[in-house]
Amino acid sequence: MSTDGGQDLGVTKSKEHETGEWYAEVVQKAELASYGPDRMGGFIVTRPRGYALWERLQSELDGWFKQTGVDNAYFPLFVPESFLEREKDVVEGFNPEVAWVTHGGEEELDERLAVRPTSESIIAPYIAQWVRSHRDLPMRLNQWCSVVRWEATETTPFFRTKEFLWQEGHTAHATDAGAWAETLTRLDQYAKLYEDVLAMPALRGAKPEHDKFPGAKTTTTVETLMPDGKSVQAATSHHLGTSFGEAFDITYTDEDEDERTCHTTSWGVSWRALGALIMTHSDDQGLVVPPALAPEQVVIVPIWRGENRDAVLDYAGEIAADLREAGLRVELDDRDERNPGFKFNEWELKGVPLRLEVGPQEVEAGTATAVHRPDGESHEIDVDGVAAAVRDALDTVHETLYDAAAETLSENVREADSRAEILGTVGQHGGYVATPWCGSEACEAPIKEEIAAEIVAVPLDAPTEADGPGERVTAAHDESDTCALCDDPAETTAYFARTY
């Protein structure tokens, strides 16, 4: 199908065979984003539909943060170089990523200002000012903002751009146990975001020692598996211990009036979540969006001939009003200049989870034909109690999306006991390969060099009976195992995967 301008409306690339080109086409044709100016490679313009997805994600997550004692704040976009220098005692490696401001108007600045690559070095000094006593703890702050990391060369909308949107939380606690509990609370909220909102199973674990956030005691991670077998680091939550407290003099007086150093955390999720969403659920017809996140949850397409136009439109309008009154997000597509087939394809391209078709037969029968976006399943619903029927259909859509993603994950976690097995399994199948590991970074290096796979997670804790498939990274070795890459005893299980 073509637009008036002669350009193809539908997706022309194959998700299976031309994944990168397909992804870029979906992002643009579903009106999520456009590429930035030619002289600004690596930047995107987020269009209203794309930003609406981010706003709904933000709304869900922000509500959970506030229910657990987090206050939103906002800190300056620019970070003085001297502030970043203080962070060097803890974090090294940001310098290649930093964009610097050297002039204000025509005047050269006395001190360079970094465009924030992250905000520890601007937030920590203020937490140090605001915390005085144990009564001020815990302090939980979060900001929604953008950051700039200039090192990105091969960029992909939402997955990797030089500027990206995210939230970053920063907290201070009196005890190590309090900081660890905070770390896990945020990790679980991120997993809930992926599972309940984005309809994607979340693999929770920890980063290996050599890949944790610099200065952290432990970096925990949510990993999600894409249909092409690559893993996405979907969110991270860092238990920082006292490293940042010591670097920025974040202290408090305890009940005995003794001065103590605070234990801190930081945690964040970026719009990479949108990239993972698009890659996981969408298909060769276009975007697929879970109901909780969709800008329009339902589109109503009236189908009429000249003599019954008014009756069909009135009927469709009544259904739309009932659904909106029930709090559902509804679009009534009553355009005269487009035929129903065009409308079906356009709304499928844009990812609306549920389509209601109404024509003269539905008017006479008091029904509507509901069509699910993920799989084209259709069924009749009665307009008496239409809101409840539509909610049930939307729940089914979410379950269908989640089950498909969970099946992909379940089928793509494999075990390997040797270097050859790791190389062969990742190379042939992709996905996660669990293997006994001694804990040495040197054992990861040859795998990374040969097939660009790395250790994305190690077990965070033992699974419980309540944990579903993929909810926790689980160990695959026992005490008698040796590392699959050397002869030393295995300390843990490493999960290798190629990554975005």
Domain end position, chosen among 334, 365, 396: 396
Residue appearing with tokens 């190629």: 498
For residue 360, give the CATH number of its domain.
Answer: 3.40.50.800
Using alpha carbons, select from 22, 21, 20, 48 the residue that is nearest to residue 34. Answer: 48
**Whether the Cβ atoms of residue 397 and residue 374 lie closer than 8 Å to each other:** yes
Q: Is the whole-model pTM more than 0.95?
A: no
> What's the mean per-residue pLDDT of the chain?
92
Q: d(Cα 474, Cα 203) in Å, to the nearest integer?
A: 10
Kindly report which listed range (81-90, 134-143, 145-154, 326-335) carries the lowest average pLDDT score.
81-90
Q: Which residue has the tokens 């259909």?
A: 393
Distance from C-alpha of 362 to C-alpha of 368, rounded to nearest angstrom = 6
Backbone angles phi, psi at 415, to 5 degrees: -110, 150
Residues 138 and 38 in one domain: yes
**Looking at the structure, do residues 305 and 274 belong to the same domain, yes or no?**
no
Q: Is the pLDDT of residue 15 over 90?
A: yes
> What's the pLDDT at 86?
82
Q: Does 405 reside within a domain?
A: no
CA 262, CA 257: separation in Å to the nearest integer?
14
Do 205 and 259 have their domain in common? yes
Query: Which residues, including other chains, have CB under 8 Å from residue 221's CB and lie 6 or more apart?
Result: 187, 204, 205, 206, 207, 233, 234, 235, 236, 237, 456, 457
| Mean predicted confidence (pLDDT) in 297-308 | 94
Summarize the confidence of residues 354-366 as an average pLDDT.
97
- If asked whether residues 327 and 362 sit together in one domain, one would say yes
- Same domain assignment for residues 92 and 226: yes
Question: In terms of domains, do 210 and 160 share one?
Answer: yes
* Helix %, strand %, coil % of the chain (to 5): 35, 30, 35
Residue ranges of E strands in 38-98: 44-46, 71-72, 78-80
Task: Tell whether the model's pLDDT for residue 2 goes beyond 70.
Answer: no
Residue 293 lies in a domain: no
Phi, psi dihedral angles at 115 (to 5 degrees): -80, 120
Q: Is residue 386 part of a domain?
A: yes
Note the maximum CA span of the chain.
Answer: 85
- Rounded to an integer, the average pLDDT of 68-93 is 86
| Residue 403 forms part of a structural domain | no
Per-residue pLDDT band for 4 (boundaries 50, 70, 90) equals very low
14 domain-assigned: no
Whether residues 219 and 85 share a domain: the answer is yes
Work out the percent of the chain whose per-residue pLDDT is above 70: 93
Q: Evaluate if residue 393 carries a pLDDT over 60.
A: yes
Total domains in the fold of the chain: 3
The pLDDT value recorded for residue 78 is 96
Q: Same domain for 309 and 431?
A: no
What CATH code is carried by the domain that includes residue 161? 3.30.930.10
Assess if residue 251 is contained within a domain.
Answer: yes
| Kind of pairing between the strands at 432-437 and 492-498 | antiparallel
* Cα→Cα distances 88→203, 215, 242, 353, Å: 32, 10, 15, 47
For the stretch 232-284, pLDDT in tens is: 999 999 999 999 999 999 999 999 999 999 999 999 999 999 999 999 999 99
Q: Tokens 């069909």, residue?
A: 312
Going by pLDDT thresholds of 50, 70 and 90, the confidence category of residue 469 is very low
Structural element, H or E, at residue 382 = strand 378-382
Residues 311 and 235 in one domain: no
| Sign, Cα dihedral of 425, 429, 430, 436 | negative
Task: Quote the domain boundaries for residue 203.
Answer: 19-281
Three-class secondary structure of residue 277 per DSSP: helix
